[in-house]
Amino acid sequence: MRICIGFDGSDKDDFTGIRAETIEGWQFTPTYGPDKRPTIWNPAEWGGRIPRSEVHAAMDEIFEEHDVERGYFDPPLWKTEIEEWALKYGDERVIPWETYRVAPMHAALERFIVDLGSGALTHDGCPTTEAHIANARMFARTNQRYIILKPSQTQKIDLAVTSVVTHEAAADARADGWTDRYVAGKGVSTAAYGFS
């Protein structure tokens, strides 16, 4: 399957996740390993820390089983791993994309929301992603821009961020020529996400 991916990593407080998007604009949570676990790691389920070896195994499987056109990776706390993945899979496919940059993140959020509303982006209905998107709140920044943040430490938004980064990677890839077989709105449609 031809995909783009997005990655948002943590160490011990927040979730780590990988999302993928097809050329047709359908976004989903990949699975990995013998029991096909979703590529979402809650540190509370792993002794209080993200299991980095599991993330590495999942990344290997994704790149082996799919034709990954491009991936955007949020580097804080995972810079060394991202550099290793760039060497292993190619730096044209593993691209650091810092989510703390207000202007690019605002533009990515705007594209994500518009494309969901128009049907150019559809999704798998992943329950963790839906919960994280429901938790996300818009916070104003300068120049009429906004970003999303969690309203409290227990209301995680990591998979919301991952979904936005994934869509940005796919949209940029399409703009760079990944559009040869892309037809907008042909993904599998499910209930629309929404930010509040």
Site of tokens 């995680």: 156
pLDDT of residue 1: 94
pLDDT of residue 180: 57
Q: Which residues of the chain have pLDDT under 50?
A: 181-193, 195-196
How is residue 171 written in tokens?
């949209």
DSSP state of 177: I
How many percent of the chain have pLDDT more than 90?
Answer: 90
Q: What are phi and psi of 21, to 5 degrees?
A: -140, 135
Closest C-alpha among 62, 25, 14 to residue 174: 25
pLDDT of residue 101: 96
How many H-runs (helices) and E-runs (strands) does the chain carry?
5, 11
**At the topology level of CATH, where does 2-178 sit?**
Nucleotidyltransferase; domain 5 (3.30.420)
pLDDT of residue 188: 35
Q: What are phi and psi of 74, to 5 degrees?
A: -75, 115
